[in-house]
Structure formats: structure tokens, C-alpha cells
Structure 1
Amino acid sequence: MWDRSDDSDRVALIEALNVMDPALGKSLDPITELAAFTFGVPIALISILDADSQRFISRVGLALDRTDRHASVCAWAIQSDQVMQVADLREDPRFATHPLVTGPEQLRFYAGAPLVTKAGLALGTLCLMDRVPRVLSPLETQQLQTLARVVMAQMELKVSMGRREQVTGLPNRQQFQADLDLLTRRGDGGRFTAVMLDVFDVHSANDAGQALGMKPVETLLRQAALRVQHVLQDQAAAYHVGVSRFAFVLSDQDHAQVDALLDRLRERLRRPLLAGSIPMSPQFHAGVCDFQATPVDTGDVIRKCLVAMNHAIQTDAGRCWYSEDRDTRLRRRYRLASDAARGLAQHQFNLVYQPRFALCDGLPVAAEALLRWVHPTLGPVGPGEFIPVLERTALMPAMSRWVVDHALAQLARWQHSLPGFCLSLNLSARDFDDAGLWDMLSSQLAAHHVPASLLEVEITEGEWLQGHPSALPQLRAMAAAGIRIAIDDFGSGYSNFSYLSELPISLIKIDRSLVTGMAQSRTARLKVEAIIKLARQLGYRTVAEGVENEAELSLLRLWGCDEAQGYHLARPMLAEAVAHLVAACRAGSPADEAG
């Protein structure tokens, strides 16, 4: 009797609805007590049968809270659409040896009404038990069935309270995942497409909420939900899975059909909506993912849709289909973020140094400290990949402290053999979130007995400086102590000389994107020459990054650039190689022979 075709669906629904929640059982206790009183029985139970056991989620008159499913009388009752009665359990060969019949309870009578969902699946029973034989009258049988329907309605109401978004009334993300899981249990092997929509920019919604209050924003969301439902009609059920996000699942539609539906959705949703008296234009970004009804696929659908939808938002595309390659890159970034702390503790990080040369005499005058990571399984990971990842984590301050400590220790060692040789350190916008950054840096300088004048701090240009109120005071404190402040990657984006006057800048590093290949690009040559001349007139020294050949070096000398850095001059190298290179150059040997 355990091989019923719908049993896997029933067990899945029990898990999805979370009917074993103790809070649900407490809400059903009054009905159980009413059943015991109405029928004059000592025992009344609401039982749920899962894969292995029978659980009594509400009970009167019985100490047990569960039994083995295979020894359950209710397991027989759920196979019937009617009330199952056993006038005398001792006389029924199915139950004569049941522990509740032969044991201390000495039960004789049983009547159970199945608890059936709207989809026709029986989850358990509302059952009555007595220690004397008896038979329910037709009226009593009808009353028991009515109470069972009341139990089922209460269960569905209780569950739905946590599965609906109050603003739109649509099923929420939890219900979306539960319904995805049901597809797996049915095992029809069908092909499905999940879609997740973002219909409002969160910042715009927040601004509207602050200006107008939340009611107009909620009205916008309700209007958007109605538009989604209108376009979908009978094709799919809509879910409200985030503040401004909706989702749905399509069955057996090819990409052309899905794209056509999304075009209709976009056209409808992009029409202006009124927030108060202000017309607002909803946005439309969709993430789309094909999947099959398997546990592996359905359990990952929401995440994959998010990957695709966020790419659509980042690229301002109307829709993006899920890309495994993009997902792999995203997961790799997450792995780097999660492995970085362990990597720092296990000495997987190290520093290399790229020398910088004065163009007036060709001598190396400084070196830039560059962080490297050799991951135990991924191998060497470039800083261009892992630094942006670390900047989004709480590990970045600890990583910066590690870099400062090790780099200054190396600078102190260089001073014994290479007096006057300088060191350049990169600090990120994330580092300036720490109001104690300058205190840490100054204490490290003192600990390593390194003069501040031998240290240079590089910061990237950009608007981030305006968003860090503690950045400017700390930069001024560094400059006052003798540290040189350099703007890194100048010319790559923001590039505004006007804000430099507010900063204690002494050096501008021209971005490699302008320098590399400039011998073949008239536009790049004009830009680099203009930056160098204007910087000199404003009193800033200039360093050109990314010098790849002699032609570029000759142009930089011609324009009066102060220093240069790049593979044509020296690649990043270990500290010992830097010492050998600098010593050889100071002794008069050619740089390439010294390296």
C-alpha cells in the first residue's frame, strides 16, 4: 500500500508547506479539542504521514507525538476519500496486533477523515480513537468530514500567510521555490524556462519613498504586478520574489517564443505609472534560464535567474539568458573572496616589486609593491582579478595591513644597501573607510624605522574621494609627515585636474592605456603630452606607466616626463632582484644586464 503513484508528490508537498511547524500545530489545537468534545472520545489527533513516520501535529489524550508509518492506522485512512471507520480494532486482522491495541492504551475504536488538499493529495487525517468499540452515525460521519475540511482550510490559511507578498497579494519567493520543487517530484521530465524581472530601480524607488511616502510606491508595485499578470494571462502564474522583482515559469516554449513574450512584457511595463501625481517610467531587466524538472536544476533556478538578471542590469540590457561561462566567473570570484582569509593565514600571498626609472639619467629611483596570490588549486591569480573582489569584503583592511607591514619591512632592509631608494604602495577607496588608516601607517613607519619621505602612497583618481569624508584629512596628514601622494591611473576615466588642487598631490601616474601604443596613435600622443605639460605647470611630477618600447620612452623624454615604469624597463620582480638591479645601475652597469 506504500507504492501509491502520488505518494512522492504528497511527501514533497508536506515538505514544501512546512506543515510540521509547531506553530501550525498550536493553531490547530482548538479544532482537535473540539473534535474530542463533540464526539465524546478520549483521543483526537491530527496526523501527518511523511516518508517514514506518522507525526501527530495536534493531539488530545495521547502522549505519543509520532509512530512508525508502517504501523499507522491513518496510513490506511488516507487512501480513502471518505471517513474510514474500524468499529473494533481487535477484530480487524490489519490492526489486531497494533501496539496501541495490544499495549497499555488498549484502543478499540478508530475513525479517520483524510485531510485532502485542493489538488487532491491527502496529507494525513483528523482521527478519533476510543477504548471501547463503537460506530459513528451518518450525521457524526458528516460532522467529522466537515471538521477535517476546517482543519485543511486552517492549514492552508496558516501556510499561505507566509507565502504571499502583502503589497501585491502574489505568491512570494518561498512559494516560488516550493512550486519549483513540486515540478521535480512530479518527474515529468519536461522542459521549462524561468524568468525573473526587475521592474524598478531600487534607488529611484527609495527616493520616491522618501519624497512621497511608501503608499505611492506600493501602488506602483501593485500596478506593475497587474501588468505582469495581464500579459501572462493563462500562460504562467506570477510570483513577487523581491521588492521590485517578479518571476514566472513557462513550459515547453522555445527561445523565440520566450523572447516574444518578454518583448510584450517590456512594452507594457515600460509605460509610465503614476506615483502620487508624478509619472514614473518603470525599468525592465529580465534574467532567463532554461531548466529541467530535476532536483539539481530546480534547486538552482532562482540563483541562475539572478545571475542573468544582474547581468542585464549591469549592461542595461532588456533581457539576458543565463550563461554558464558568466556564472563560472562569478563563482570563481566568490571562491576567491571566501578563500582569501585562509590564503593570508597560510602565506599564499607575496609581494613583488616593479622598479621605476628617472628619465633624466635612467637610474631606478623607486619600486611599486605589487601583491600576488598563488592559490593552492587555482594557481596564480592576478591582482586585477582578486583585488576588486577583496575590496568588497571585510578582509581588505587586514590585507592592506599585511601589505604595509611586509613592504615597509622590505624598504627598511633596502636602506642598508640602497640608501634613498623609495617604495610606492597602493591604497584603495576601501582602505579609506577605516578612519584609523593614517594611524596604522604612521605606527608601521615608526616600527620599521623608515623615514616617511621614502614612502609614496598611490590612490586611484575618481569621484570616490568625495564620498569618503575621512580620506582628505588622512591624505593631508600623510603629506604633512613627508609621504608623497600620487594619483594612479590618471587619464583612464574621471581625469579632472580641477579636483587635484584640493588634494596634497605631488605625483601623477599616467595610465598605461594612454602610454602603451602611443607611438602609433596621434590621439594618445596629444593626450599624454598635454597631461605632462599641464602637470609640470601645476607643479606635479609625472610618471608614465606601461612603457613597452624605446619609441615610447623617447617621446616621454622629449616631453619632459620625470619617470617611467613598464616592461621595456623592468618587469615586476622579487625584492632580491630589485636590490641587484639598483646596485648594478648605480655602479654604472646597463639595466638589462643587471636584471
Structure 2
Amino acid sequence: MWDSSSDSDRVALIDALNVMDPALGRALDPITELAAFTFDVPIALISIVDADSQRFISRVGLAVEGTDRHASICSWAIGSAQVMQVADLREDPRYAQNPLVVGPEQVRFYAGAPLLTRSGLALGTLCLMGRAPRVLSPLEVQQLQTLARVVMAQMELKMSMGRREQVTGLPNRQQFQADLDLLARRAGDGHFTAVLLDVLDAHSANDAGQALGMKPVEALLRQSSLRVQSVLQDQAQVYHVGVSRFAFFLVDQDRTQVEALLDRLRERMRRPLMAGSVPMLPQFHAGACHFKAVAADTNDLIRKCLVAMQHAVQTDACLCWYSDERDARLRRRYRLASDAARGLAQHQFSLVYQPRFSLHDGMPVAAEALLRWVHPMLGPVSPGEFIPVLERTALMPALSRWVVDHALAQLALWQHALPGFGMSLNLSPRDFDDPGLWEMLSTRLQAHGLPASLLEVEITEGEWLQGHPGAVPQLRAMATAGIRIAIDDFGSGYSNFGYLSEVPISLIKIDRSLVTGLARSRTSRLKVEAIIKLARQLGYRTVAEGVESDAELSLLRLWGCDEAQGYLLARPMTADAATLLVDACRAGSPGEDTA
């Protein structure tokens, strides 16, 4: 009957290729009808034999759609590479009691040609059945085999639709996943490594497409695919899984072997390619991941390779291996992004306030509103972690409005208890995507009966101002109304006094990375002293962040820094604690350091 050693592979292939799709059967119906007509038989079938049954995906002259596998005559035919004939089923003890023989159909004659894949696996048969004994001539046997090959070709064509990338002709991401699924169903014990490769810089490809059209870019991709295939040759099937991304998997190669292969591939790929008449230098970023041939690994493999490859892109490395720790950090960021809206609705966010002190008289002059998030499962989450995540989501404007509402409400309360005590708010670059930002701020100030001069808006320094043309007009409108504009984290990165002339800045906050440890670092002392002196000459007030020692405070006073903020003076605290602290300072008694 069938070869049990290859049967699991065959059944897995049937599942992976989705040959039971009714659309495939409809496409094969004309061939089945042609077979019935050509051989003058009442019944012609295309039968697919899986683990437990046979299904007639296309049929002529038979009402039933399938039978139990053990009652299947085709189950015997798929074990043969040739046409199997039974002249009289009643005379053969294997089939004499078959339901199609003894039942209403009264079938006597059978001939079945196996439907063989290129790898030699039989998915089923193209079979003929008659109600009288018969033997096919050698010519008829040849014709039946020819029709079976036509059926198989049509099946492969139909199944490959949507599984090929048109530009390169390579199997695409859907086929890559289907082949991984097939690999998992075979339950092999081998050791596998998947590789995801990006060969073209997106910005360069976009520029080339705009200048030359898409045909030269497509030619680049075809050349790249040929290079990848030439290096891999018989080692792996190459898949085109993204615009400029290729994938493949290797069998039983250790880390050293994989890296050696990718070194050869990188050397081959980094040679210039021609886009029209312009030579372009391809990039080479690869992500690799070991996996086992089990569904738990293969179902998530593309994502893991993408995690590794993206890290290679971000670090400009040729190759990065998948890391559980890096993946966990990415998943945590995604969870924060997806849970934030619920957190806002369920009051998981709150504000704390860190006072800021004048270095001339030691009095607290304002407090910075700082956002906090206590996640029900993850616990307290640092703003340094969740703010960058939320800035990339559509929730950030709503969260910023929430901060504005709650902070201004608290500022209004302070004006009764602490007249003249100010507040600073942090606004992100994303907030300035909203053209109504200033209008919203102005409306909320009026609603709380607050003068604009009590509010300070902090923005991070950087090139983002050039990418947000609407930011500067809104900042100017705020400054005109009396809101003070502060540059936060100055000195931490893109520090340039030149661009400050375009923005109505009144205050510079020197980043804690320069201030903390100031007394021990000559370089930091030179930088901070220079920033303070130049800022004063340009008419800006200065605030030092992250003050943690008396020595730092003394140096800042010596250089003429206007204000300071840090754990030495006061930690972030609740609104009530801040009220008590400011009250005590104004009354002339030292306030307690409140955590």
C-alpha cells in the first residue's frame, strides 16, 4: 500500500499547500471532464489522500465527495510511480468488498495515475472508473500519465499564485512561512538557523526611484537576489520577504559556520550595483536566529529575525543574533504603548512636582510637573522609559492635555496658598504637531484664571525644531502672551546657541549629565561655566539640573547660575508636600527633604 516512512511528509505537504481549497478543485474540473471524455468512462476523479481520508477535489460521475482512507483504492495507487490498473475489482480480494464495488455504483474497472510533486511525493491520483472490466492500452496509459502531469502542473501553478515576488521571481514571505510550517510538521531533529537580510538603504532607494523611476530600483533588487542566490547556491532556498529583504534558513550549521557564510555573502553584496548609469553601494544588515523544527519556534521566527536585523540596522552592524533580552525590552515597550490608553482611563497616571530654587536667596520659585505611571502589573514605570514610547503613538497629545489640565488646576490652587509660585511643563515634539496647541494652552489658562507669566514651557533642545515648522510660531505666540520658554537638557546632545536665536527662549536648563559630578570633572566644569557665562551675555537665565552635592551648588553660585534643581535641594514630591516645603521656606524655616 503506501510507504509509511514518507507518509507524514506527504500529509504535511498537503496541509501546507492547501490543496483542499475548493477554488483549486474548480480550476481542475475541466481536466477531469476531459479525462472522462477521452477514456470514455462514467467516473473520473482527482483524489487527494491525507492521513485519514481521501477527498475528491474534482469529480465527474460520482456523488460522494470522499471516503475513508482505508476504503480508498487510490491509497494503493499513490504507492506506485506508474499507473495502477485493476481490470476487474470484483476479482481482486483487496477491493472485492469496497463500497464503490458492492454498492450502488457497481464499479468494476480502475486506473489511477499518481500526482507526484517534484520531490517525488504523491498527493493523490487522477483516476478513472468504469462499470465493466477493462485494460488500458499502452498508449492510453501514457495519455493518463500525461494528464496527471497536467493536473500536477495546474495544481502547482494555482498554489504558487500569491507565493512569488514578481520583481525577483523568488518565493515570498507567505511561501517562507508555509515552508517553515511544513518543516515543523515533519518534526525533524535537526538544528536550523534562519537569516533575514536587508540589502538596500531605504532612503537611497527612494531617491533613486524619484530620480530614475522604479525600473532601475527593481533591477537593483534583481541583481541583489542573484548575488544572494549565487553565494548560497545549493545550501538554501532564498525567499524575497520584503521590498529589499531576503530570507533563508540553514540546516545543521553552528554559529561559526553561519557567520563565515555571511561574511562571504557580505563581501559579495557590498560590490557596487548599477541603478541606470549610477553605481550604488548596497548595504548589508543581517539578523540571525537559531530555531528548532517545531511550531512554537517557526510560528514566531520571522518576527525574531526582524528583531535581530533591526538591531543590526540601528547599530550599523553587519550581523546581529537574536537576543531574548532585547526582545523582552521591545515587547515591554509595545505593552506600555498598548496599555497607556487604559492606564489614562483608569487613573494610573499622576503628577509629582520637583521644586526649583533661586541661587540668589535659596527660595523655591517654581516646581516642575513630572508625570508618573504605576502600571498594575509592571509597577512604577520610569518616565524615561514610557515617554519615548508614547511619543511615537497617537496617545501622546491626549496625555499631554491631561498633564496640562491637572497641572494648571494645581497651579490655580497654589495661587491661593502660595501666590506667585510658578510651574513648568514639559512638551514633546509630538505636541507641536497639533496646530491648536497654543490655543488649548491659552484656553486652559483662562479657564483656571491664571496669568501666563506663572507658566513655563520646557522643550528639549535638538534638530526636531527644524522638522516642525509649526513649532516656532506657536512658541512665539506663547512667549508673546507671557509664558516663559525653556530649553531642557541643554548640553546633552545637539547643543547649539545658534538656533536659539530663532526661538523665543528665556531660560536654559543645563542637563544633569554635566552637573552631577561637576566638582570631580574638569571637563564638565569648563563646559558648565562657559554655558552659564554665554547664556548670561545672551540674556538667558540658567537652571542647573541634577544638583546632588554642596560642592556642585557652590560652583554654580560662583559662576552666577540663576536657579538649581536636584535631589540635594528637593526630590519630586506630591502637591501637598510641595506646598508645605514652600510654606516653610517662605516662613523662614528650612523645609524637610521630601521623597
Distance 1:45 1:579, change over 3 A: farther
Question: Which residue of the partner structure matches residue 365 of structure 1?
Answer: 365
Question: Which residue of the partner structure matches residue 248 of structure 1?
Answer: 248
What is the SS of the residue equivalent to 2:223? helix
1:402 and 1:298 map into 2 onto residues whose CA distance is 43
% identical aligned pairs = 81
Contact 2:358 2:562 in 1 (8 A): yes
Distance 1:446 1:196, change over 3 A: same
Note the C-alpha offset of 1:210.
0.9
Distance 1:27 1:527, change over 3 A: same
1:484 and 1:150 map into 2 onto residues whose CA distance is 79
What is the SS of the residue equivalent to 1:450? coil
What's the TM-score once normalised by structure 2's chain length? 0.93
The size of the alignment, in residue pairs, is 594
Question: Which residue of the partner structure matches residue 491 of structure 1?
Answer: 491
The one-letter code matched in structure 2 to 1:360 is: H
1:468 and 1:546 map into 2 onto residues whose CA distance is 29
Question: Which residue of the partner structure matches residue 524 of structure 2?
Answer: 524
1:35 and 1:581 map into 2 onto residues whose CA distance is 95
Instruction: Answer with 49-58 or 158-167: which moved more.
Output: 49-58
The one-letter code matched in structure 2 to 1:486 is: A
Note the C-alpha offset of 1:91.
7.1
2:369 and 2:241 map into 1 onto residues whose CA distance is 46
2:476 and 2:295 map into 1 onto residues whose CA distance is 58
Note the C-alpha offset of 1:175.
2.2
What is the SS of the residue equivalent to 2:4? coil
Note the C-alpha offset of 1:492.
0.9
Contact 2:48 2:123 in 1 (8 A): yes
Contact 2:2 2:76 in 1 (8 A): no
Distance 1:47 1:422, change over 3 A: farther
Note the C-alpha offset of 1:52.
4.8
Question: Which residue of the partner structure matches residue 576 of structure 1?
Answer: 576
1:442 and 1:54 map into 2 onto residues whose CA distance is 74
Deviations 1:387-438 (A, max 9, x none): 1111122222222222222222222222221222222111111222222323
Deviations 1:236-288 (A, max 9, x none): 23222222122222222222222222222212211122222222111111212
1:584 and 1:67 map into 2 onto residues whose CA distance is 90
Distance 1:560 1:145, change over 3 A: same
Contact 1:415 1:421 in 2 (8 A): yes
1:336 and 1:70 map into 2 onto residues whose CA distance is 54
What is the SS of the residue equivalent to 1:524? helix
Distance 1:67 1:587, change over 3 A: farther
Question: Which residue of the partner structure matches residue 137 of structure 1?
Answer: 136
| Correspondence list, 1:376-415, <5 A | 376-415=376-415
Contact 2:571 2:594 in 1 (8 A): no
Note the C-alpha offset of 1:489.
0.8
CA root-mean-square deviation: 2.5
Note the C-alpha offset of 1:206.
0.9
2:63 and 2:391 map into 1 onto residues whose CA distance is 57
What is the SS of the residue equivalent to 1:543? strand
Distance 1:551 1:179, change over 3 A: same
Distance 1:439 1:60, change over 3 A: farther
Note the C-alpha offset of 1:153.
0.9
Distance 1:480 1:143, change over 3 A: same
Contact 1:85 1:135 in 2 (8 A): no
The one-letter code matched in structure 2 to 1:470 is: G
What's the TM-score once normalised by structure 1's chain length? 0.93
Matched, 1:513 2:520: no
Note the C-alpha offset of 1:514.
0.9
1:461 and 1:128 map into 2 onto residues whose CA distance is 79
Distance 1:20 1:503, change over 3 A: farther
Distance 1:134 1:427, change over 3 A: farther
Note the C-alpha offset of 1:511.
0.8
Distance 1:429 1:91, change over 3 A: farther
Gaps of 5+ in 1: none
Question: Which residue of the partner structure matches residue 560 of structure 2?
Answer: 560
| Correspondence list, 1:214-363, <5 A | 214-363=214-363
Deviations 1:350-408 (A, max 9, x none): 22111111212212121111111222222211111111111122222222222222222
Contact 1:373 1:382 in 2 (8 A): yes
Question: Which residue of the partner structure matches residue 436 of structure 2?
Answer: 436
Instruction: Answer with 83-92 or 364-373: which moved more.
Output: 83-92
1:594 and 1:250 map into 2 onto residues whose CA distance is 59
Instruction: Answer with 510-519 or 434-443: which moved more.
Output: 434-443
Distance 1:35 1:591, change over 3 A: same
Note the C-alpha offset of 1:36.
2.7
